[in-house]
């Protein structure tokens, strides 16, 4: 699953350059956010930390290689992580019986 996610991310940014393409913000890539959140939800401890660090590094490296400056790419990865956390919280709230929740993303 991890390699599939990384290949998916690689495909999305492989031919982008800042000169002719604006990248779609990572935190708005719903499928990727949900897949990473689901994976992190099944992992614990060092395994979860390692998975997240590898995912974040891959996203950052791909964005920089595509022409994004490092600061913008790092901010995009931070927003992505916040979106992943929001998704995990949303799913945890969904699991609580009798509670109705809505997403509160900006």
List of long-range contacts for 35-43, beta carbons under 8 Å, 24+ apart:
35/1, 35/5, 35/8, 36/5, 36/80, 36/84, 37/84, 37/85, 37/87, 37/88, 37/91, 38/91, 39/1, 39/2, 39/5, 40/84, 40/88, 41/88, 41/91
Instruction: State the pLDDT at residue 12.
Output: 57
- pTM across the whole model: 0.69
pLDDT digits (tens, 9 = 90+) for 41-93: 999 999 999 999 999 999 999 999 888 889 999 999 999 999 999 999 988 87
Instruction: State the pLDDT at residue 67.
Output: 86
């Amino acid at each position: 699953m991890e390699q599939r996610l990384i290949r998916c991310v690689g495909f999305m940014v492989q031919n982008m350059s800042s000169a002719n393409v604006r990248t779609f913000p990572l935190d708005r890539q719903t499928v990727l956010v949900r897949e990473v959140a689901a994976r992190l939800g099944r992992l614990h401890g060092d395994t979860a930390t390692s998975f997240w660090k590898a995912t974040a590094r891959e996203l950052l490296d791909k964005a920089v290689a595509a022409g994004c400056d490092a600061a913008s790419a790092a901010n995009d990865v931070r927003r992505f992580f916040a979106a992943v956390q929001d998704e995990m919280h949303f799913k945890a709230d969904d699991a609580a019986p009798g509670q109705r929740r809505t997403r509160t993303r900006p």
